[in-house]
Amino acid sequence: MTADPNQTEAPVGTLQVALAHAERLLGSEPALAAEQASEILKSVPGHPAAELLLGAARRRINDLKGALALLQPLARSQPGSLAVHYELGLALGALGRGDEAMAALRKVVELKPDFGDAWRALADHFSALGDTEAADAAFARHLKFASRDPRLLEAGAALVDNRIAQAEQLLRAHLKQQPTDVAAIRMLAEVAARLGRFGDSEVLLARCLELAPVFTAARHNYAAVLNRQGKEAQALAEIERVLAQEPDNPSYRNLLAAILGRIREHGRAIETYEGVLAQYPKHPKAWMSYGHALKLAGRREDSIAAYRRAIELKPGSGESWWGLANLRTFRFEPEDIQAMQAELARPDLSQADRYHFHFAIGRALEDQGSWADAFSHYEQGNLLRRALFRYDAEENTSHVSRSKALFSNTFFEERSGFGAAAPDPIFIVGLPRSGSMLIEQVLSGHSAVEGTMELPDVISIARVLGEKKVRSRESKYPEVLATLGAAEFRDLGERFIEQTRIHRRSGAPFFIDRMPSNFAHVGLIHLMLPKAKIIDARRHPIGCCFSAFKQHFARGQSFTYSLDDLGRYYRDYVELMTHFDKVLPGRIHRVIYENMIGNTEPEIRRLLDYCGLPFEADCLRFYENERAVPTAGSEQARRRIYREAVDHWRHFESWLGPLKDALGPALDAYPGVPAF
């Protein structure tokens, strides 16, 4: 942290000793460092190195305005000083002036691309804005340059270049020799996270923190991977712990907001995003994240304004345009469509923005009745999105076959009485866009039932049981269930109840888990929670699948980006549920969406009877339920029965041949079931 002095009035030796002493004090006793630097400046007014030390010391004692008073003019007079621009960036960030802070930090890495700490600070700012791609790239550069160990430098370079397999190989070899190197452990955890192996990343970061409990950056990563796995309670505890150390860190606050949104604390999430926007008022991603949070809280007009602001700042933000389209009841103006088409024509548009534009324009044209053009955009958006996944329909078909082979009448009879006694959960399973949200709104209108969200906990339990670490290895699930005893299934059920407690707010005795893909785990649910209710939400195969095809899902649902994949997935789902109807007769209650639409009150009464709940009139007025709905069709949850959707797919029927072919007997037999 030295700037070349242009003037000295004190003896050089004495001055250098005094400066070195002040710099040593800076890390441990910044107030004393400030006093030392002030004394130097009395003797040598305007000395750049002393001014820098005083500015840095003032930042550390939280005299941020005093720090800026020194650092800003110093940056103008010392445009090539890395240390000055770095300190200025940190001071501006601490003051909540995020845009200016990022400009200063960018200046640092322009001057010195291997300045690891500056990349880390930039990563925090990008993370606060929700720009995951930029944050990952900056963080990778931080990892590359933070260590001077040649082996870690090489691994860091591989991470920056996205040579993930090579980075993993280098890090594992290094850790064999240095098993307690926390920097290397953290880098390996980053590799695991990049590969989607969040469980492995969690284990590595837990080890890292065991070795170095004060490693705050690793704890932030730990909170992030916990959140990605749906472990919100643990993630919240960890992020609050790091915020206690750095309450103004923008990256930490952004993660806090994301976790709060997942546990339906929308008020706190919105307040947190508003704090981020105070720091970054001109960043479109921050406005877009704010729009998402407002949408989930049911603040429609405010969310529209936020998305519009994001678009104003960055017209090429396809995700912001999709945010508007995904409001469902929103209608684009002709000039909006022209603007989107103009952006889509840009050759420099990112792939992510491009597919978001296709989905958004498709929705806009569909609202106009331009069926052929709308389908063309949906098709192009899905082709781009499908190319990003390694989805294999055979894996799902294999899971169905293996489940049918395992789950026989005898298998369940031999395990009668297994599991936890809690009757609390009501599982709604099926496919996305099947009418499950309507069922949830109906049930959550009952005084004894709380609606939550799509909870990942059953899937997480199944994944742990399967012990599938790499894609090429076959999961041990569901066959591993045959090896578990009564106590183990009871423990699994109790774990589910405990893990999901963070989502329960009202004190109602029952709560809803509306994760659609839990249909694949009905056997597990029955064994670990035999008193839980299971509701199968089923909609016309083409109506359900095409509605999913038109939808861009933020995460998961990788089977929805191809008509053939969708048809096969729906057929597999029907086959598995038909099997459970045979081996667990009466266990699952089926709701046919079209029946619920056409014969609402009798269907609702039948549903409540299955759940063992007395009829309440509020269940008929589900559209008055003001709870926040974190789902693609959240606005429709606040509407009366949506009859228009039943046959809407027929406008597109001439293009849906691949879907019909893949559905096969599942389409022909609907609403009945084929003989599998």
Query: How many whole angstroms separate alpha carbon 51 and alpha carbon 64?
Result: 14
Give the model's confidence band at 419: pLDDT under 50 very low, under 70 low, under 90 confident, else very high. very high
Average pLDDT of the segment spanning 668-674:
92
Give the model's confidence band at 576: pLDDT under 50 very low, under 70 low, under 90 confident, else very high. very high
Of 604 and 143, the one with more pLDDT: 604
Of 155 and 450, the one with more pLDDT: 450
Full set of structural domains in the chain with CATH: 418-669 (3.40.50.300)
Percent of the chain as helix, strand, coil, to the nearest 5:
70, 5, 30
Q: Is the dihedral of CA 638, 377, 341, 126 positive or negative?
A: positive
Of 399 and 637, the one with more pLDDT: 399
% residues pLDDT > 70 (the chain)? 93
Give the model's confidence band at 614: pLDDT under 50 very low, under 70 low, under 90 confident, else very high. very high
Q: What's residue 621's pLDDT?
A: 85
Tell me if the pTM is above 0.95. Answer: no
Closest CA to 520 of 410, 395, 640, 641: 395
Is residue 655 classed exposed, middle or buried when 0-12, 13-18 and 19+ CB atoms within 10 A define those classes?
A: middle
Average pLDDT of the segment spanning 445-473:
85
Query: How many whole angstroms separate alpha carbon 447 and alpha carbon 318?
Result: 41
pLDDT at position 156 over 90: no
User: pLDDT digit string (tens) for 71-105?
Assistant: 999 999 988 888 899 999 999 988 889 889 999 99
Q: What's residue 468's pLDDT?
A: 65
pLDDT at position 325 over 90: yes
Q: What's residue 4's pLDDT?
A: 44
Mean pLDDT of the chain: 89
Contact 262, 226 (CB under 8 A): no
Task: Enumerate the β-bridge partners of residue 450.
Answer: 511
Picking from 41-45, 558-562, 611-615, 625-629, which range would have the lowest pLDDT averaged per residue? 625-629
Q: What's residue 40's pLDDT?
A: 85
User: pLDDT digit string (tens) for 397-416?
Assistant: 999 999 999 999 999 999 99
Q: Is the dihedral of CA 663, 669, 670, 671 positive or negative?
A: negative
pLDDT at position 628 over 80: no
pLDDT at position 148 over 80: no
Residue type, 372: A
pLDDT at position 6 over 60: no
Average pLDDT of the segment spanning 114-143:
80
Q: What's residue 197's pLDDT?
A: 87
pLDDT at position 5 over 50: no
Closest CA to 321 of 342, 348, 296: 342
pLDDT at position 627 over 90: no
Of 373 and 248, the one with more pLDDT: 373
Q: What's residue 470's pLDDT?
A: 54
Determine which helix (DSSP H) or strand (DSSP E) holds 429, and give its type and residue range: strand 425-430
Give the model's confidence band at 13: pLDDT under 50 very low, under 70 low, under 90 confident, else very high. low
Q: What's residue 469's pLDDT?
A: 55
Give the model's confidence band at 477: pLDDT under 50 very low, under 70 low, under 90 confident, else very high. very high
Query: How many whole angstroms separate alpha carbon 597 and alpha carbon 592?
Result: 9
Q: What's residue 508's pLDDT?
A: 96
Q: Which residue has the tokens 């035999």?
A: 530
pLDDT at position 443 over 70: yes
Q: What's residue 625's pLDDT?
A: 66
pLDDT at position 222 over 90: yes
SS (H, E, C) 533-585: EEEEEECCHHHHHHHHHCCCCCCCCHHHHCHHHHHHHHHHHHHHHHHHHHHCC
Task: Enumerate the β-bridge partners of residue 512.
Answer: 426, 451
User: pLDDT digit string (tens) for 359-371?
Assistant: 999 999 999 999 9
